[in-house]
Amino acid sequence: MIKVNLLGQPRGVEAPREWIPRDQRSAFTGLAMLLGTGVLVTGWWYYLHDQRSDLDLRIAAAETEIIQLKDAAVLVEQAQQRKAELGERLALIERLRAGKRGPVTLIETINYSVPEGLWLIELKQTGAAVQIDGRAMSLTAVTDFAERLQTSGLFKRPVDIVTTVAEVFEQANVVRFVVRAEADGLIAPIDLPAGAPKARPGA
């Protein structure tokens, strides 16, 4: 004899127990999704918070470095200004030294250029132009004097003999002359008084 179970389950066997009722499964799924979303949002928030903290630290370090660089830039600028001031002072000192050496060099050059039989009466200087008045025993002495000045390296070429006039001085026939030259460089002005002894004949 064949038996057919029309109930779909053996007799005496209980139906499987459902942990979540069918009518509440949608709500439970939504709650689970909500909780999962909350966990993800919370984790993302902590991640962003850590990133922001790290970024704040980097910004603070960068600001500190900028302040240090600004301080260093100020020190560099002050050092450059100090260097420029010292350079200007050194240049001024050098110009003053050159100005002091100029008149000495001029006098020494003229003195070494005086030949025998010639003496000077007056020396005038206007800027770089130098005019020398004197007497000589002959025209040769005057030309020698002008040539020595020209080859001294202190004056530009040519050194001009402006005038030569024959005259009698202390019962002797002499040549009164004027020589004009231009100094090759800056020399402090010199103006020696007229008639002051400069160099005697033969000195």
Question: Is residue 117 scored above 80 in pLDDT?
Answer: yes
What are the sequence ranges of the domains in the chain?
21-203
**What angle is formed at CA 53 by the lines to CA 47 and CA 55, rounded to 5 degrees?**
100
In contact, 182 and 93? CB cutoff 8 Å: no
* Predicted local distance difference test score (pLDDT) of residue 157: 84
Q: What is the pTM of this model?
A: 0.46
What's the mean pLDDT when you consider all of the chain? 78
Q: Bridge-partner residues for 118, per DSSP?
A: 136
In contact, 104 and 182? CB cutoff 8 Å: no
In contact, 162 and 179? CB cutoff 8 Å: yes
Question: Is residue 33 scored above 50 in pLDDT?
Answer: yes
In the structure, what pLDDT confidence band is assigned to residue 162 with cuts at 50, 70 and 90?
very high
The amino acid present at 62, given as its one-letter code, is A
Question: Is residue 186 scored above 60 in pLDDT?
Answer: no
Mean per-residue pLDDT for 128-155?
92
Question: Is residue 27 scored above 60 in pLDDT?
Answer: yes
* Predicted local distance difference test score (pLDDT) of residue 98: 60
- 34 burial level (CB within 10 Å; 0-12, 13-18, 19+): exposed
Question: Is residue 154 scored above 60 in pLDDT?
Answer: yes
* Predicted local distance difference test score (pLDDT) of residue 179: 95
Angle, to 10 degrees, between the axis of helix 139-151 and the axis of helix 25-113?
160
Q: What is the pLDDT of residues 97-114, one digit of tens each?
A: 665 666 778 888 899 999
In contact, 136 and 200? CB cutoff 8 Å: no
What lies within 8 Å, CB to CB, of 134 at 6+ separation is: 118, 119, 120, 121, 122, 145, 176, 177, 179, 198
Q: What is the CATH number of domain 21-203?
A: 3.30.1360.100
Q: What is the pLDDT of residues 43-69, one digit of tens each?
A: 888 888 888 888 888 888 888 888 888
What lies within 8 Å, CB to CB, of 23 at 6+ separation is: none
Highest mean pLDDT among 19-33, 88-102, 169-183: 169-183
For residue 194, what are its two tokens?
Answer: 């007229």
